[in-house]
Amino acid sequence: MFDKYVLKHKTHLDLFTKVKSLFKIMILIIQDEFHIYYCKFNKKRHTRFAPEDEKCYICRSVKTDTMKNKPILVISTGAGISAESGITTFRDAGGLWENYPVMQVASAQGFAQNPELVHNFYNKRRKELLKAEPNGAHKALAELEKDFDVYVITQNVDDLHERAGSKNVLHLHGELMKIRSVSNPDYIETLDTDHLETTPATRGRNGDPMRPHIVFFQEPVPNIEKAVEIVMSADIFVVIGTSLAVYPAAGLIEYTRPGIPVFYIDPNPASTAGHPDVTVIRKKATEGMRDLTEILHAYVEKHKK
């Protein structure tokens, strides 16, 4: 009788089987897509929340890091780390930068009043940058990626962190080797070593007038929210070569989780009275990074046990 039922309803059963198989395939596709979507937005703590999947290209790309569950090390760097590479700064120059009042060459008002001066100023800064090389502090930060999940948040507009090998660098104040549209801040182009100079007449590939990709004084800092998110995820937070006087970057330390180790490297550190748990290393960036590297290696060994 069952055989007769099967024969009678064979067409319906075939359709049901096909629908059932299709449904299973859809479920698998949804699971795979969800896994990849999850990986993209939770990459830094991937294996703490999701199992590894060899079919997922993101899993494969971060397998080494995530299997070790590296501590998240967030570094906030300022002018002091690049000064040792010969990059000029106005921090200790009485408000002058290469003999120019800072507000003439690094403010929105200054650019509006004399765009040619501002373009020429940053043309010179790019030529200066090409002569500079990453120093020991830049290289030490890149080396720490072997043991830590390192994120660099920098106020500097040079590319010395990237050239030293750091993979995760967030620039708060723009990038010297890039230009952007005057009317559309999201349209950005990268300059090459053969085309360093720009003028008010420079046009982008889209035809827009272009300006240095620098966050001028009097302008908002578009990456600050992303920087805050990174700092909030830190297991260890380090500040290097900054006076803690330029906001909003100076306020990042306020977003660290209570109880995590915080270090501050600077030969002339600002007051940390409001942060009694901060360990101050009163040295220049390169020398201070040697001390910090020893401390962090001891931290890694301690947490392996």
279: exposed, middle or buried (C-beta count within 10 Å: 0-12, 13-18, 19+)? middle
Task: Compute the radius of gyration of the chain from its Cα atoms.
Answer: 26
Of residues 119, 143, 130, 96, the one with CA closest to residue 300: 143
Extract the tokens encoding 7: 């024969």
Pick from 155, 110, 109: which is nearest to 248 by CA? 155
% helix / strand / coil in the chain, to the nearest 5?
45, 15, 35
Task: Judge residue 128's burial from the number of C-beta atoms within 10 Å of its C-beta, 0-12 exposed, 13-18 middle, 19 or more buried.
Answer: middle
The answer to whether residues 96 and 105 touch, using CB atoms and an 8 Å cutoff, is no
CA 47, CA 141: separation in Å to the nearest integer? 24
- Whether residue 171 contacts residue 159, with contact meaning beta carbons closer than 8 Å, is answered with no
Given 35, 138, 161, 173, which residue is catalytic?
173
Note if 46 is an active site residue: no
CA dist list (Å): 277 to 231, 259, 263, 272? 16, 8, 9, 9
- Residue 239, CA distances (Å) to 93, 94, 112, 247, 278 in order: 22, 23, 33, 14, 10
Task: Please tell me the number of Cα atoms within 13 Å of 225 on its side-chain side.
Answer: 2
Q: Is 92 helix (H, G, I), strand (E, B) or coil?
A: coil
**3-class secondary structure, 261:** coil
Catalytic site residues? Answer: 173
